[in-house]
Structure 1
Amino acid sequence: MTKTALVFIANGSEEIEAVTTIDVLRRAEIEVDVVSIEKSGHDAVKCSRNVRVLPDKSLDDIKNTQYDVIVIPGGNDGSKAMANSSEVGQILTKHYQDGKIVAAICAGPRALLSHKIGVDHKHTITCYPSVRKEFTDGEPYKLDNPDNPVCHSRHTGKGDTEEKEHHLVTSQGPGTTMVFALKLIELLKGKDEATKVKDGLLV
């Protein structure tokens, strides 16, 4: 079965984190929808360094679609917009509760905190160094060792009929994006596929 990913973008998103993640996931033949959270959902988004990215879809287009992973890139203004969006919060909450992967990089974990994603499960996360001060270590998340570029935190709990896994994947910033994306490939398609893509990228 084909794996699917949603990458949110907004005005002020960090373009390296968004575009690199999109590119690397597609190299693993993961279907990626680039979704703008702006009101003009089909217009190009102006990222943090003035790179313009044209979305595939708007929030309205995907409100009833489920993905295997959702990605929140950083960027100061973009991450704040996602943290303030009730629509983004609803989509993140549903996917997390359904056992799908929720991933955020750089300042993106702000949206996890704002929308209370996994706060009852005491996940460990990482983020951009200057953003760490926005989190109180241990409440509601534990902060990972800053030497680790990517953090995958898994919580296993009982659902209504069976055990369910809940995943948060976080990373530190533009320079860790490729490792972040490769980790998502590993979780979605296995280590062999992640290694194949990694070797092709000469990482």
Structure 2
Amino acid sequence: MPRVLIPLAAGCEELEAVTIIDLLRRARIDVVTASLTAGPVHCSRGTVLLADRLLDEIADEDFDMIALPGGLPGADHLNADPRIHRLINRLAAADKHVAAICAAPKVLVGNGVANGHRLTAFPGALDALDTSQVQLTGQPVEVDNKFITSRGPGTAMDFSLQLIETLLGKAARDQVEAPLQRP
């Protein structure tokens, strides 16, 4: 069974975080949520989440994917945390999947790990960064090799279903998607 790390930072976009967690768990993927700091995580719209573990407790564990929820200032907190960058670099070096939605692709751009790859992000989220080494597509969900990115809260379900398909295949995605009653 694939194992996915979802780091939760204060100010993360709760719609994205919860959608990713929920859909991946529906697919029976082993999801581990980890907070950057002790205590509840206060999201961008006031929702409070409790992570499974602290990031320090799982930093050396093996994962098949890391999926970064966006939102501000959550994505900025992820980008400022050297532990997140070490995890991303380790997973990318091991040819594992790195995923980010909304403003969180800024972590991949700032890190340089996605140089030479296609990405998408929330409009304007990357404006302050040098994006000359990546190709921004504007697609709702972009898959380029081991990098999966998406635009924002409205694409969270498509993004999460793509993560399932990437890890388990189209049949698993279809099995999770069917009871959701999407149009």
TM-score, normalisation: structure 2: 0.96
How far 1:130 sits from its partner (Å)? 2.1
Cα deviation digits, residues 169-196 of structure 1 (max 9, x gap): 0000001000000000001000011011
Equivalent-residue separation in structure 2 for 1:80 and 1:116 (angstroms): 16
Structure 2 equivalent of residue 197 of structure 1 = 176
Query: Structure 2 stretches of 5 or more lacking a match?
Result: none
2:134 alignment partner in structure 1? 141
Does residue 86 of structure 1 match 2:82?
A: yes
Offset from partner CA, 1:88-110 (integer Å, 9 cap, x none): 10011000110110000000011
Task: State whether structure 2 residue 123 is matched by structure 1 residue 129.
Answer: yes
CA distance in 2, matches of 1:97, 1:200: 36
| Rounded Cα–Cα distance in structure 2 between residues aligned with 1:63 and 1:199 | 35
**1:135-174 equivalence runs, <5 A:** 135-136=129-130, 139-144=132-137, 146=138, 148-154=139-145, 167-174=146-153
Shift of 1:53: 0.3
Task: Name 2:164's counterpart in structure 1.
Answer: 185
Distance 1:132 1:85, change over 3 A: closer
- Structure 1 consecutive aligned stretches of length 4 or more whose deviation exceeds 6 Å: none
Residues 25 and 181 of structure 1 are in contact (CA less than 8 Å); yes or no, is this contact kept in structure 2? Answer: yes
CA distance, structure 1, for counterparts of residue 70 and residue 163 of structure 2: 16
CA distance in 2, matches of 1:134, 1:128: 13
> How far off is 1:135 after superposition?
4.7
Cα–Cα, structure 1 residues 135 and 143, in superposed 2: closer, same or farther, change >3 Å?
Answer: farther
Whole-angstrom distance in 2 between the partners of 1:36 and 1:69: 16
- Quick one: distance in 2 between partners of 1:19 and 1:184? 14
**Does the 8 A contact of 1:135 with 1:141 survive in 2?**
no
2:58: which partner in 1?
62
Question: How many residues matched?
Answer: 182
CA–CA distance in 2 between the matches of 1:140 and 1:20? 30
What's the offset of the Cα at 1:134?
A: 3.5
Distance 1:149 1:63 in 2: 30
Structure 1 unaligned spans of 5+: 155-166
Q: Distance in 1 between matches of 2:29 and 2:35?
A: 19
TM-score, with length taken from structure 1? 0.87
**1:105 corresponds to:** 101
CA contact (8 A) 1:8 1:72 kept: yes
Structure label with greater radius of gyration: 1
SS across alignment from 1:99: coil
Q: Identical aligned pairs, as a percentage?
A: 36
Q: Partner letter of residue 106 of structure 1? A: C
What does residue 4 of structure 1 align with?
A: 3
